[in-house]
Amino acid sequence: MKTKILFGSAIVVISMVTLSGVLKYSSYKDEATNSDIVEASESQIYHAEIGEWVSEMNILLSEPLNDPKLKKANNDEGFEYYLKSLVVDRKSTIDLIKGNKELEEDYINLFLLTSYISNKQAARTVHLDPNGEAIESTDLVNQWAPTDENTHKAFEYVKQIMNDLDVAINHNGKGEIYGVTHLLNGDKASEVKKFVTSS
């Protein structure tokens, strides 16, 4: 089913969302009327578990983590990023995402970012144990190297991607987005890709 909408200004490419998935929009110029035509195609249907995972992870990433390990580490920010990244990976629904190219690309970015954060936690503790045994040794937290700026940036991207996916899949496209997902044709998706491939 396609819907035509007329616009009298510049060419517009829009992604709108239904409760069950993302509506894909394409646009072209109608020379006869000198108007832009936007056509909506069928929405993408997502497995319910994807929406549940996205919602749960968005909340996890946005709120303080209640984890005894984090308390033992004096609420070290980089360690919190690491612990949250582990949960995002562990609870991922990758088997349900396959088949949707844009969502797969966003998942790959999430995976690369969470892996980067985990590697950075290992790097912060490698001087204490080269075999990685100190990565969660909270009794040595005062000897961990500081969290670097790229780790902060990576975590912000993880939060922003999950926020945008939550808005797209669970909230009919209504809400603040950061433009970092392929699913919503975000203008900063390439910026995230550049970060994950060059860091």
- Residue 120 three-state SS: helix
Distance from CA of residue 135 to its chain's centroid? 24
| Among candidate residues 164, 147, 162, 157, the one with its CA nearest the CA of residue 82 | 147
The CA distance from 123 to 112, in Å, is 16
Encoded amino acid at 120, one letter:
K
Residue 7 pLDDT: 36
The CA distance from 135 to 199, in Å, is 20
Distances 53 to 61, 78, 90, 195 between C-alpha atoms, Å: 12, 23, 11, 24
Length of the chain: 199
Residue 98 pLDDT: 77
Radius of gyration over alpha carbons of the chain, in Å?
20
The CA distance from 124 to 128, in Å, is 9
Consecutive H or E run containing 116: helix 101-125
Query: For residue 138, with 0-12 CB atoms within 10 Å meaning exposed, 13-18 middle and 19 or more buried, which class applies?
Result: middle
pLDDT in 10s for each residue of the chain, 199 residues: 433 333 333 333 333 333 334 444 333 445 655 544 433 334 566 778 999 999 999 999 999 999 999 999 999 999 999 999 999 999 988 778 777 899 999 999 999 999 999 999 999 999 999 999 999 999 999 999 999 999 999 999 999 999 999 999 998 778 899 999 999 999 999 999 999 988 7
Output the six-digit token pair for 37.
Answer: 């035509």
Rounded to two decimals, what is the model's pTM?
A: 0.77
Residue 171 pLDDT: 87
Residue 41 φ then ψ, to 5°: -105, 175
Beginning with the edge strand found earlier in the chain, give each strand of the sheet holding 35-43 in spatial order. 3-7, 35-43, 21-30, 15-18
Query: Can you give the residue ranges of every domain in the chain?
Result: 3-43, 48-198
Residue 140 pLDDT: 96
Q: Which residues pair with 6 in a beta bridge?
A: 37
